[in-house]
């Protein structure tokens, strides 16, 4: 039985790797890709999503979404992902166009066409927040949201804020208050599941897909070359396929939307303030060795 998903993303090097896994795993049925401003501007993230779909010769629609956060000024991560968002491989210029529908409309139509579907946002959550505000009826059709973002142990933009949540904390707050079941795949696990130098070296022997991913990863300015690079967004796909590799805690999560701690994910770890209620299953540990093994096995299976 396949897992039906929609990816809302901002490629980005690790987003590209996550898309590669989702597009090529027979257990996943990727219905739609929507792009959002985040790692780079939305015109670039849309183009990058199209490049990955075209590279793998897949027929998955790509829709362009929000160009800026709901309230907070836009701040990209080009210093991490490069000006294009996906340096290190020549995808050419003939990679197609997004569909005419804007992301929110495309999300609505794709979700309502299914009895239940999983949303996998790996960028800022602006498109998701706009969708929930305009079309609240989609909630009953969303099985869960498996979101890369946040942290209950420290940030990578500030001491407390992770990039996806920091980019649009108001959207993150809307999503976490939606009542939809949410799995938080944040820095608590993604900074443990580093793609090791040995794993990266193996990619060069794994055909054009391995060459492409190796090219992107070697241009990724996130992580330590001696220990490895975090593939943050890929962890969402790994979770969908291998939840047993993760340790989770059911917690109530709030998002700080202003002040010096803007973008912080505040978890009620003592269960002291919400009468025992929780709104997120937060991943707190991961089998990093299994992640590396799985990553290579997935690339080995991809045929172009």
Using an 8 Å Cβ cutoff, are 100 and 10 in contact? no
Taking 70 as the threshold, does the pLDDT of residue 303 lie above it?
yes
What average pLDDT does the structure give for the chain? 97
| Residue pair 150/165 in contact by the 8 Å Cβ criterion | yes
Q: Identify the band that residue 32 occupies on the pLDDT scale cut at 50, 70 and 90.
A: very high
pLDDT at 55 over 70: yes
**Which 8-state DSSP code applies to residue 73?**
P
Predicted pLDDT of residue 224: 67
pLDDT tier at 1, thresholds 50, 70, 90: confident
In this predicted model, what pLDDT tens digit does every residue of 9-18 receive, in sequence order? Answer: 999 999 999 9
What's the pLDDT at 58?
A: 98
Q: What is the pTM of this model?
A: 0.97
Is the pLDDT at 129 greater than 80? The verdict is: yes
> Is pLDDT of 225 > 80?
no
Residue 108 known to be catalytic:
no
Q: What dihedral angle (degrees, nearest 10) is formed by the CA atoms of 87, 79, 217, 288?
A: -160
Residue 186 bridge partners (DSSP): none
Q: Is the pLDDT of residue 226 over 90?
A: no
pLDDT digits (tens, 9 = 90+) for 240-293: 999 999 999 999 999 999 999 999 999 999 999 999 899 999 999 999 999 999
Range from 89-93, 178-182, 226-230 carrying the lowest mean pLDDT: 226-230
For the structural domain made of 3-301, what CATH number should be given?
3.90.245.10
| Residue of 54, 214, 232, 242 marked catalytic | 232
Identify which of 34, 31, 38 has the alpha carbon closest to the alpha carbon of residue 14.
38
> For the ranges 227-231, 260-264, 292-296, which has the lowest average pLDDT?
227-231
Instruction: For residue 59, report the phi and psi dihedrals to the nearest 5 degrees.
Output: -115, 65
Residue 304 is predicted with a pLDDT of 87
Averaged pLDDT, 114-121: 97
- Distance, in Å, from the CA atom of 149 to the CA atom of 186, rounded to the nearest integer, reads 5
């Amino acid at each position: 039985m396949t897992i039906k998903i929609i990816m809302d993303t901002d490629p980005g090097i690790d987003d590209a790797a996550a898309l590669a896994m989702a597009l090529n795993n027979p257990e996943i049925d990727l219905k739609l890709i929507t792009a959002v401003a985040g790692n780079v501007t939305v015109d670039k993230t849309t183009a990058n999503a199209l490049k990955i779909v075209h590279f793998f010769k897949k027929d998955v629609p790509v829709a362009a979404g929000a160009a800026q956060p709901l309230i907070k000024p836009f701040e990209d991560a080009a210093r991490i992902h490069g000006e294009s968002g996906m340096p290190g491989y020549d995808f050419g210029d003939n990679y197609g166009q997004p569909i005419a529908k804007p992301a929110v409309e495309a999300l609505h139509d794709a979700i309502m066409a299914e009895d239940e579907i999983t949303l996998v946002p790996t960028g800022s959550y602006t498109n998701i927040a706009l969708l929930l505000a305009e079309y609240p009826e989609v909630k009953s059709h969303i099985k869960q949201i498996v979101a890369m973002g946040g942290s209950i142990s420290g940030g990578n933009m500030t001491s407390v804020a992770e990039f996806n949540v920091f980019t649009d904390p108001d959207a993150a707050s809307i999503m976490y208050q939606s009542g939809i079941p949410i799995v938080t795949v944040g820095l608590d696990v993604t900074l443990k599941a580093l793609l090791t130098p040995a794993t990266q070296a193996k990619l060069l022997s794994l055909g054009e897909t391995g060459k492409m991913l190796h090219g992107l990863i070697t241009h990724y300015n996130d992580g330590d070359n001696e220990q490895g690079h975090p593939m943050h967004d890929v962890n969402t796909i790994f979770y969908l396929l291998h939840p047993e590799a993760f340790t989770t805690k059911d917690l109530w999560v709030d998002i700080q939307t202003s002040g010096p701690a803007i973008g912080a994910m505040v978890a009620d770890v003592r269960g002291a303030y919400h009468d025992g209620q929780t709104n997120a299953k937060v991943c707190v540990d991961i089998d990093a060795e299994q992640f590396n093994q799985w990553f290579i096995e997935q690339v080995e299976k991809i045929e172009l």
